């Protein structure tokens, strides 16, 4: 059996580093491909800590993004090349060897620190993920907060900013990368927390890993600990080489007493009195360890799915039992039970009592549709940053994530509507013998609504826009579906056919009024044939056909959601 390496052993263990070199690199961003990096030449060697410093907007993040090869749609190499151990980027070989700790922490807020690292290790295929995570916790000095939740900015802040940054770093290090890119790993941290992170990076580089980091206001101790320095200004290199020689190379005089060297250099490259600031030393490219094998096999699909299913449950379990949500659902159902109490069992039926019960049979699917669609809209946008990042590292396939993420919600949220509808069903005096069909219809209606919400959320990750589209879709299809007006123009009728709640409403009416009569002007009329409330289109289809259409919509929306997610997490 595999025994995890002890901390001491791990410290001595040399990791095969992955050197990166960029040559005459010019990179454009945005749709117009505006160049923000120009003619850059340099690199980050295995076993060295290379720091990138520069004023805000000088292109530090763009350089890291380009080297990570993760944002092909946003960053375009216009000229020059980036090579990894002398080779061009090969997604299948390199993506699992390059770790990228971005400026924003991409962590699931409701997982604890330990769970976060354990799932990362499990997805990496570690034989004993818990032991590996424990070692990492210890190494990053996170033992004390190991069982606290990460916490979100507006929800809970269980761990400090410095601890969050270390969790992000640990998450990436569990990949055993050869090249680690870090965008401002110390920003917003006090000097003690920043020094801790710096020590971790230094330790990593001494193990053989190539470390390339942008750093915010490093202290002199940190500055002199860099193995190599790249100073950027307006996308061009002001200096590249040994940090010890930087002042002599580009500054007119030594830094004033008490002023950190990095701050002084920043002032020099931004100031007008700088020496012509394009002194470059050849970036060190020696000591490259050549890598021939990949970072390890990906897990089989089923294992990915099982791990992700557990993680999705732990990370989102609190969303499912949100007291506000439950109170909302319970109160609407209780109010329905009160307002419609005994209406369905009144005999003989009249046009008025048919109208009242039709109101309930309309309101119920429409309420659940709106409620569940809104819930589903948030599903993918909330995880997008994490999933995009993990997919880029090749940890799992999008189908495994999609199924894992949606099955937990499907089983809980979608089952809520039939279960809670029981609150009004018997109180309103609806047909006891048809309860099963009523609940099945609500289940399929909820499945449809949930799938439609997933679909909109997957394609439009901007929540404001997604909510607007959801409202427009629901109201427009209901209006064209003949709920409020009969004379819908022929050319708009097809749009009304997209109103899945219409099929649910039709099915619920037919289930409740199958063979039922009411007192009318002619004496005795059949509800489903003669009541003015039930329009011809609803009458024409059978319950089976309505349910089949609902199931079809649910499948179609889910497939569309899958493709949307795939597209938006690339
Ligand atoms: N997707 C984009 N579309 C348009 N411009 C962009 C895009 N990404 C970056 N830029 C521009 O490129 C320039 C470099 O940005 P970058 O984020 O690389 O700078 P930075 O040095 O990392 O800044 P900071 O230290 O503030 O994070 C900036 O002027 C920025 O506005």
Task: Convert the pLDDT of each residue in 179-232 to its tens digit.
Answer: 999 999 988 777 888 888 899 999 999 999 999 999 878 999 999 999 999 999
> For 514-532, what is each residue's pLDDT tens digit?
999 999 888 889 998 887 7
Q: Rounded CA gap, 548 and 542, in Å?
A: 10
pLDDT of the residue at 69: 87
The closest residue, in CA terms, to atom 13 on ligand 1 is 57
Strand order from edge to edge, sheet including 179-183: 98-101, 179-183, 210-214, 49-53, 228-233, 236-241, 279-280
> For 183-192, what is each residue's pLDDT tens digit?
999 887 778 8
Residue 58 in contact with ligand 1 by CB distance below 6 A: yes
Greatest pairwise CA separation for the chain in angstroms: 106
Let me know: does 201 contact 120? Beta carbons within 8 Å: no
Pick the closest to residue 394 from 89, 124, 15 (CA basis).
Answer: 124
Q: Look at residue 424 and tell me whether its pLDDT is greater than 80.
A: yes
74 Cα nearest atom in ligand 1:
1
Ligand 1 mean position, distance from CA 274 (Å): 23
The interface predicted TM-score of the complex, written ipTM, equals 0.94
* pLDDT band, residue 390 (cuts 50/70/90): confident
* pLDDT band, residue 62 (cuts 50/70/90): very high
pLDDT of the residue at 533: 74
Residue 417 in contact with ligand 1 by CB distance below 6 A: no
Residue 104 in contact with ligand 1 by CB distance below 6 A: no
pLDDT of the residue at 157: 60
State what percent of residues in the chain have pLDDT above 70.
Answer: 91
The closest residue, in CA terms, to atom 20 on ligand 1 is 57
* pLDDT band, residue 155 (cuts 50/70/90): low
Residue 30 in contact with ligand 1 by CB distance below 6 A: yes
Ligand 1 mean position, distance from CA 242 (Å): 26
Taking residues 314-335, report their average pLDDT. 88
Phi and psi angles of residue 31, each rounded to the nearest 5 degrees, phi first: -65, -30
* pLDDT band, residue 156 (cuts 50/70/90): low
> For 327-351, what is each residue's pLDDT tens digit?
999 999 999 999 999 999 988 999 8
Let me know: does 509 contact 490? Beta carbons within 8 Å: no
Q: Rounded CA gap, 486 and 496, in Å?
A: 11
By most ligand atoms within 8 Å of CB, the mutation choice from 34, 40, 55, 58 for ligand 1 is 58
* pLDDT band, residue 14 (cuts 50/70/90): low
> For 115-135, what is each residue's pLDDT tens digit?
999 999 999 888 999 999 999
Contacts of 173 (CB under 8 A, 6+ apart): 99, 136, 180, 204
Contacts of 479 (CB under 8 A, 6+ apart): 485, 496
> For 246-305, what is each residue's pLDDT tens digit?
999 888 888 888 889 999 999 888 874 444 434 433 333 333 323 333 444 368 999 999
Q: Mean pLDDT in the chain?
A: 86
The closest residue, in CA terms, to atom 18 on ligand 1 is 59
Taking residues 441-459, report their average pLDDT. 96
426 vs 391: which has the higher pLDDT = 426
Transcribe 139-183 into DSSP letters: HTT-GGGTTSB---TTT---S-HHHHHHHHHHHHHTT--SEEEEE
Ligand 1 mean position, distance from CA 72 (Å): 15
């Amino acid at each position: 059996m595999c025994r995890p390496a002890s901390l001491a052993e791990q410290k001595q263990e040399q990791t095969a580093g992955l050197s990166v070199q960029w040559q005459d690199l010019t990179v454009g961003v945005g749709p117009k491909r505006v160049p923000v990096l120009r003619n850059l030449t340099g690199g980050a060697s295995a076993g060295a800590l290379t720091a990138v410093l520069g004023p805000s907007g000088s292109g530090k993040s763009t350089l890291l993004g380009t080297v990570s090869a993760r944002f092909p749609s946003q960053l375009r190499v216009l000229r020059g090349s980036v090579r990894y151990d002398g080779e061009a980027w090969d997604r299948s070989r390199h993506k699992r060897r390059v770790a990228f700790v971005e400026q924003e922490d991409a962590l699931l807020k409701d997982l604890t620190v330990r769970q976060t690292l354990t799932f990362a290790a499990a997805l990496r295929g570690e034989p004993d993920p818990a032991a590996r995570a424990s070692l990492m916790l210890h190494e990053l000095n996170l033992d004390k907060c190991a069982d606290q939740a990460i916490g979100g900015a507006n929800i809970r802040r269980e761990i400090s900013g410095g601890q969050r940054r270390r969790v992000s770093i640990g998450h990436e290090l569990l990949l055993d990368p050869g090249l680690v890119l870090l965008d401002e790993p110390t920003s917003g941290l006090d000097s003690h927390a920043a020094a801790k992170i710096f020590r971790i990076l230094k330790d990593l580089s001494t193990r053989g890993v190539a470390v390339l980091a942008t750093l915010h206001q490093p202290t002199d101790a940190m500055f002199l600990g860099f193995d190599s320095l790249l100073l950027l200004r307006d996308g061009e290199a002001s200096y590249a080489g040994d940090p010890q020689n930087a002042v002599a190379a580009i500054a007119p005089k030594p830094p004033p007493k008490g002023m950190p060297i990095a701050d002084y250099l920043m002032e020099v490259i931004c100031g007008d009195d700088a020496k012509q600031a394009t002194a470059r030393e050849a970036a060190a490219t020696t000591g490259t360890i050549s890598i021939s094998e990949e970072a390890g096999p990906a897990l089989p699909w089923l294992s990915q799915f099982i791990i992700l299913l557990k993680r999705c449950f732990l990370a989102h379990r609190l969303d499912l039992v949100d007291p506000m949500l439950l109170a909302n659902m319970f109160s609407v159902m209780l109010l329905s039970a009160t307002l419609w109490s005994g209406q369905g069992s009144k005999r003989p039926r009249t046009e008025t009592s048919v109208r009242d019960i039709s109101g309930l049979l309309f309101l119920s699917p429409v309420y659940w549709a709106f409620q569940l669609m809104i819930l589903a809209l948030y599903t993918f946008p909330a995880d997008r940053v994490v999933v995009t990042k993990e997919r880029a590292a090749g940890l799992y396939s999008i189908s495994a994530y999609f199924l894992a993420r949606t099955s937990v919600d499907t089983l809980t949220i979608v089952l809520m509507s039939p279960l809670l509808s029981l609150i009004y069903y018997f109180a309103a005096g609806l047909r006891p013998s048809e309860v099963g069909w009523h609940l099945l219809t609500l289940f399929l209606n909820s499945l449809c609504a949930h799938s439609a919400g997933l679909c909109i959320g997957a394609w439009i990750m901007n929540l404001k826009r997604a909510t607007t589209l959801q409202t427009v879709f629901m109201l427009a299809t209901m209006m064209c579906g003949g709920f409020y007006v009969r004379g819908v123009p022929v050319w708009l009728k097809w749009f009304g056919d997209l109103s899945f709640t219409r099929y649910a409403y039709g099915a619920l009416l037919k289930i409740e009024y199958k063979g039922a009569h009411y007192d009318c002007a002619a004496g005795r009329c059949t509800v489903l044939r003669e009541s003015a409330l039930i329009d011809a289109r609803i009458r024409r289809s059978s319950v089976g056909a309505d349910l089949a259409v609902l199931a079809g919509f649910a499948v179609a929306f889910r497939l569309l959601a899958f493709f949307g997610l795939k597209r938006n997490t690339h």
